[in-house]
Amino acid sequence: MPDRIEVEVACALPERQHILAIRVPRGTTALAAVTMSGIAALFPEVSIDSARLGIFGRLLGTRGLPPADRYLVCPGDRVEIYRPLVADPKDARRRRAGGVA
């Protein structure tokens, strides 16, 4: 069994995105993988420490998934860094519909 596994770390902003493929020791948490990737240097405007993380679109710490500091990444996982919502989706939908609730 290999001592290191390959995972991806992804972060996207409206104007740019990066997906980094990295090799991490088996038993690495999602949060540690993000730190090891160095992606924070590419996105200084994103607070990695307070950002929410997910695996393939599933938010860590919800729906039975452990939080990012306890989720152990698996080979091929893509750890995604989520930025905060700019607007409440319900409010934005109401505004687009012309204020009709």
What is the chain written as a DSSP string? --SEEEEEEEEEETTEEEEEEEEEETT-BHHHHHHHHTGGGT-TTS-TTTSEEEETTEETTSTTPPPTTTPBP-TT-EEEEEPPPSS-HHHHHHHHTTS--
pTM of the full predicted structure? 0.82
Predicted local distance difference test score (pLDDT) of residue 93: 80
**Structural domain span for residue 35:** 4-96
| 101 domain residue, yes or no | no
Number of domains in the chain: 1
pLDDT in tens, 34-46: 999 999 999 999 9
The CA distance from 4 to 88, in Å, is 40
| 30 domain residue, yes or no | yes
Q: What is the CATH number of the domain that holds 43?
A: 3.10.20.90
Please report which confidence band the pLDDT of residue 1 belongs to, taking 50, 70 and 90 as the band edges.
Answer: low
Does 63 score more than 80 pLDDT? yes
Does 100 score more than 60 pLDDT? no
